[in-house]
Amino acid sequence: MTTSVVSVTPETGVSEVARLLLERHISAVPVIQAEGGLVGMVSEGDFLRRTEGDGRLHGSWWLRLFSGPGESAAQYVKTHGRSAADVMTQDVITVTEDTPAGEIAHLLETKRIKRVPVLRDGRIVGIVSRADLLRGLAAQRDAPVASATVEDETIRKRILEEMSASDWAPTYGVSVMVAEGIVQIWGFVDSHEQGEALRVAAGNVPGVKGVELHVSNIPAHGWE
């Protein structure tokens, strides 16, 4: 999962959410309340429905008989609201840190979603996207699956702490995996120098046997 999660609050303005998606090259952002709980997600799809909608329900007249004014009012809020709380999707599918990768892949496919938040005690600690799953599969290309040990988890935690404390480190779009002392860093960076700094930071952590850097500059079209 990607642990550096960009988020907004329910009160964040719609224009600010749109700007954040464009600047960070992401297609969705979680909505988190002041207490830290996840209350929804705003995605590109929500904005598409906003631009396409006019606040009215369309379709056969007999279907509208069963929808009632409540559904029409909810649609109006989606297409005319000004805050993240107005346009967000509230029924968010989530997983935990222990959810198997295969189950996550099944969720993404069957629910037709691009990413899923990872929760711990009701609070978001990361996001797993389709790209994260592909990176994980690519990391297994040369060797059998290796189970992460307690030492590996300690190494990964120290690398993430170093990134969090550094003003040069990427704040999104980077995944760190450690197996048998080998660190693999996947994702996007702003520059070649930023990637090299990640390599050095990981290599300086005690217990690291090697660092494999699989990063590239952020593409103009964004990433999933």
Q: pLDDT tens digits for 10-62?
A: 999 999 999 988 888 888 899 999 888 999 999 888 887 665 555 444 444 44
Measure the CA–CA gap between 56 and 72, rounded to whole angstroms. 6
Is residue 102 pLDDT above 60, yes or no? Answer: yes
Is the predicted pLDDT of residue 109 greater than 70, yes or no?
A: yes
- Are 185 and 28 in contact by the 8 Å Cβ rule? The answer is no
Q: Roughly how many angstroms between the first and final C-alpha of the chain, as a whole number?
A: 12
Give the C-alpha separation, 14 to 20, whole Å: 10
Per-residue pLDDT band for 206 (boundaries 50, 70, 90) equals very high
Mean of pLDDT values over 124-135: 82
Q: What share of the chain is helix, strand, coil (3-state, %, to 5)?
A: 40, 25, 35
Q: What pLDDT, on a 0 to 100 scale, did the predictor assign at position 223?
A: 44
The pTM of the full predicted model, rounded to 2 decimals, is 0.57
Q: Output 200 or 71, whichever has higher pLDDT.
A: 200
133 with 114: CB under 8 angstroms?
no
**pLDDT score at 220:** 46
**Domains parsed from the chain with CATH numbers:** 140-217 (3.30.1340.30)
Report the pLDDT value the prediction gives residue 74, as an integer from 0 to 100.
Answer: 64
- Please tell me the predicted confidence (pLDDT) of residue 222: 46
Query: pLDDT at position 170, please?
Result: 82
Mean pLDDT of 97-117: 84
Contacting residues for 82 by C-beta, under 8 A, at least 6 apart: 13, 14
With contact defined as beta carbons under 8 Å apart, do 139 and 184 qualify? yes
Residue 98: pLDDT over 80:
yes
- Residues 67-97 have pLDDT tens digits of 555 556 666 767 778 899 988 888 899 999 8
Q: Find where tokens 């009012």 sit.
A: 73
Which pLDDT does position 22 carry in this prediction? 86
Confidence at residue 141, expressed as pLDDT on a 0 to 100 scale: 52
The CA distance from 121 to 38, in Å, is 11
Query: What pLDDT, on a 0 to 100 scale, did the predictor assign at position 114?
Result: 84
Whether pLDDT at 189 is above 60: yes
Question: Strands (DSSP E) along the chain, which ranges?
Answer: 28-32, 38-43, 95-96, 115-120, 123-129, 174-179, 182-189, 210-217
> How are strands ordered across the β-sheet holding 210-217?
174-179, 182-189, 210-217
- Contact (Cβ atoms closer than 8 angstroms) between residue 2 and residue 26: no
In which region does residue 101 sit, left (phi positive, over 0), alpha (psi from -120 to 50) or beta (all else)?
Answer: alpha
Mapping DSSP to helix (H, G, I), strand (E, B) and coil, where does residue 116 land? strand
CB count within 10 Å of CB 98 equals 7
